[in-house]
Structure 1
Amino acid sequence: MPLNDDASVRPLVTRAPVARGCDRRRFGAMVLAAGVDVLLPRPSAAAGPASEEPRIIDFAWVDPARGRSVPARLYWPATSGRKAPVPLIVFSHGLGGSRTGYSYLGDGWSARGTASLHIQHVGSDQTLWQGNPLLLLDRLDGAADEREAIERTRDVRFGLDRLLDRGGPFAAAVDRRRIVAAGHSYGANTTLILTGAQVVRDGRLLGERDARFSASIVISAPPFYGETDLASVLRSVDVPTLHVTTTEDTIRLPGRYSAVQDRIDIFQAIPTPHKALVVFQGGSHSVFTDRTLRNGGPLNPLIKRATAEAALAFLDLAYRSDAAPLEAWSAVWKPILAAAPTPFSVPARPAGRKRQA
């Protein structure tokens, strides 16, 4: 059973030490001195053998129905000698990000045989930081607007449509049974909406669920600002979900603040038991981005590598009901964990069954 009660989770996210007799800074320095690879778990079974020549392909897509650009970057694993279709993770960046960000995830996943498509959301991308700094608050308000939240889900849907287009080169190579929604921060909200989160407007439930996503990876999810009943917002999220956060995962933006506990509350509000929570000891909200300067110090590359590996181990659990990789991952990364995921059981779906949108 996963960690899903206040008594078992809250103390874990406030615990100070990361390892008995070894503080976080000293531990990180020791690991870096020895080389990060000393903590690299064995490749996940679902990921297959390591690939040596993954490809990176950029797309300059435009959605004609919305007149909106949807840039994307595809990390595609080497396919020489590979016959089976590959799993696909569709990734949504955080506020002010781009398709080129979170490259450690794309590189790490594709090197282990899992493709990832990183979508850029032009209404809330890196252009927010450009222009008159006095108007930054206005730009942030626009990017965090409910309408942009919906447009982001449609960006992801459109990007997935294009990649799976039957006339394209990747359509037959993607395993349609293993398509995963993923995102960091604002992108984590996008991921939750795509996998069942919904709100009430004018007495009607509104959502943008895409039934093609059968699992999700939620990294540092903010609260749904303005929504007071989190359980109602998330009650229809029922795909297996991996939640990732840190003990210092606080969001501070002009006009917006979110404490670490918000990440835990989102995990707890999702009703399905098919969920797992990872809490790293230390590391800011932006430690999951490509930023490195003053962003976690020696812990930064460890959290990145551990996050990429946790996702692959989670796919083994979600799609193969194989808990061994996630258990092995937990043992290897235990020195930097405040809370490690507890494996769960995923019941087999009857043949031909389709998830309702």
Structure 2
Amino acid sequence: MQEMQQKPKEDRPVSKPFTEAADIPVSDPTPVMTFSPVELSTPDRMVNLQIKVSVPSKGDDLPVILLSHGHGPSNFISSLHGYGPLAHFWAAHGFVVIQPTHLDAKMLGLRESDNPEAPLYWRSRAEDMRCILDHLDQIEDTVPGLGGRLDRSRIAAVGHSLGGHTVGLLCGQKVTDPIDGTEVYLADPRIKAGVLMAAPGKGEDLAAFATERYPVLGTTNFATMTTPALVIVGENDWNPAFSDRKDWRADAYFQSPGPKSLLTLFGAEHGLGGIAAFDAKETTDENPERVAALRALVWSYLRTALYPEDSAWPTACAALTNTANPVGMIHCK
């Protein structure tokens, strides 16, 4: 057997233990139960809606996060199979996390369909989230050990990239249907708080390349997005194919009415450190500590947004500010 030659010690990458929450105070974790797929009957949809449900092993009156994946280039990350670094953490710290596979998931093979909504399926995505809320009884009955444990008055929606656009629709942003020119408003009052991660900005500043391919994004308007929300952006998340403006993805904060918060992650690109999957090759800015901070800050934000008496969010903001090397900065309005 040929022996493997070891690199000289000085050439080896430094191995450091990663942290779960980057020194942001969070609750103690519990084991997580994951059940998938749960299939919801959707007769008017091209295929039935499949979801994955992640549940803490103990606790009652559990708040809910609907987690919307991005469009993305991968076969399976942009589906119920992705975003493990976020879903598992939030479930371990007391949320029930529900992840749909939207019709634009590459694994479904529908992006090149002649459906007029292809390739983004922007309206269908929002309807998927509403469908989940309409079928919470079925979900509770299907997932072992979940029955009677949901707090249906405390529901949040979280999304990355195109998923952020989906969450924006549920929180009240408007778009114009490029097919018939009608204004579309899909806000759902059951969603009490939103988190938009690296979401598209206002339509007026969409670049010509993206406008030609994704015309609905050219109509995004945040003026009516009144649901409380946390907007998360990467400092280096800029693609001229989508906008000439480097702060374009922060528009959901600046162009919408309060209450809103903005988390800017220093040095982060569109993958925000690797939130879509563990060790995904498409992550151009892999940084486990950044992911740890992001998921802990989202947890803290949602705890206070859904439980106003909970001081998790101001405590987390103070912890971020007071650390020696903060991973980002927060603004609120």
TM class, shorter-length: 0.7 to 0.9
SS in 2 for 1:211: coil
Say if 2:200 is the partner of 1:222: yes
Amino acid of the structure 2 residue aligned with 1:107: H
Cα gap change, 1:137/1:158 in structure 2, threshold over 3 Å: closer, same or farther?
closer
- After TM superposition, give the deviation of residue 109 of structure 1 in Å: 0.5
| Structure 1: runs of 5+ lacking an equivalent | 1-28, 345-357
Residue in 1 that maps onto 2:185: 207
Counterparts of 2:20 and 2:129 in 1: how far apart (Å)? 36
User: Among 311, 318, 336, which residue is 2:305 paired with?
Assistant: 318
Amino acid at match of 1:244: I
**1:288 equivalent in structure 2:** 275
CA distance in 2, matches of 1:141, 1:203: 14
1:15 maps to none
d(CA) in 2 for partners of 1:55, 1:329: 30
In structure 2, the partner of 1:248 is 236
From 262, 266, 285, give the equivalent of 1:277.
Answer: 262
Would you say the 8 A contact 1:310–1:329 is kept in 2?
no
1:268 equivalenced with 2:244 (yes/no):
no
User: Is it true that 1:37 corresponds to 2:19 in the alignment?
Assistant: yes
Q: Distance in 2 between matches of 1:158 and 1:294?
A: 30
| Compared CA separation, residues 140 and 331, structure 1 to 2 (3 A) | farther
8 Å Cα contact 1:251/1:285 also seen in 2: no
Amino acid at match of 2:148: A
> Which of 98, 103, 117 is 2:79 aligned to?
98
The one-character-per-residue Cα deviations of 1:225-276 (angstroms, maximum 9, x if unpaired) are: 556675xx22221121111111111247xx755754111222100112x111
Cα distance change of structure 1 residues 172 and 236 upon mapping to structure 2, 3 Å threshold: farther
Is it true that 1:303 corresponds to 2:284 in the alignment? Answer: no
SS in structure 1 of the partner of residue 118 of structure 2: helix
From 309, 324, 330, the counterpart of 1:341: 330
Displaced runs of 4 or more, over 6 A: 135-141
* 2: CA distance, partners of 1:139 / 1:282: 38
Q: Structure 1 pair 343/262, CA: closer, same or farther in 2 (3 Å)? A: closer
Secondary structure (helix, strand or coil) at the match of 1:288 reads coil
Q: How far apart, in 2, do the equivalents of 1:139 and 1:101 lie?
A: 25
What secondary structure, in the 3-state scheme, does the structure 2 residue paired with 1:172 have? coil
Instruction: Tell whether the 8 Å contact from 2:21 to 2:295 is kept in structure 1 after alignment.
Output: no
Percent identity over the alignment? 21
Instruction: State TM-score, norm by structure 1.
Output: 0.71
Unaligned runs of 5+ residues in structure 2 are 1-12, 73-77, 204-210
What CA distance in whole angstroms lies between the structure 2 residues aligned with 1:142 and 1:157?
Answer: 20
CA distance in 2, matches of 1:67, 1:37: 41
AA in 2 matched with 1:266: A
Structure 1: which amino acid aligns with 2:52?
Answer: R
Give the C-alpha shift of residue 175 in structure 1. 1.3
Q: Tell me the SS of whatever aligns to 1:143.
A: coil
Aligned-pair CA distance for 1:318? 1.3
Equivalent-residue separation in structure 2 for 1:247 and 1:157 (angstroms): 32
Q: Label 1:38 to 1:143 Cα distance change in 2 as closer, same or farther (>3 A).
A: closer
Contact 2:24-2:296 at 8 Å conserved across structures: no
C-alpha displacement at 1:54, in angstroms? 0.9
In structure 2, the residue matched to 1:109 is 90
Partner of 1:125: 105
> Match of 1:314, as an amino acid?
Y
Change in 2 beyond 3 A, CA 1:259/1:120: farther
Q: Is the 8 A contact 2:290 2:327 kept in 1?
A: no
Q: One-letter code of the match for 1:331?
A: T
Q: What code does the residue aligned with 1:211 have? A: P
User: In 1, distance between residues paired with 2:23 and 2:266?
Assistant: 19
Matched residue type, 1:54: V
User: Matched residue pairs, number?
Assistant: 292
**Superposition CA RMSD, Å:** 3.3
* Distance in 2 between residues matched to 1:126 and 1:327, nearest whole Å: 37
- Residue 300 of structure 1: CA displacement? 2.1
Tell me, yes or no, if the aligned pair for 2:56 and 2:95 is still in contact at 8 Å: yes
Q: Structure 1 residue 163 and structure 2 residue 150: aligned? A: no
**Is 1:55 matched with 2:55?**
no
More helix, by proportion: 1
Structure 1 residues 239 and 305 mapped into 2: Cα distance closer, same or farther (>3 Å)?
same
Moved more, 105-114 or 312-321: 312-321
The one-letter code of the counterpart of 2:107 is T
Which residue type is aligned with residue 63 of structure 2? P
Higher relative contact order (CA 8 A, sep 6+): 1
- Report deviation, 1:315: 1.6
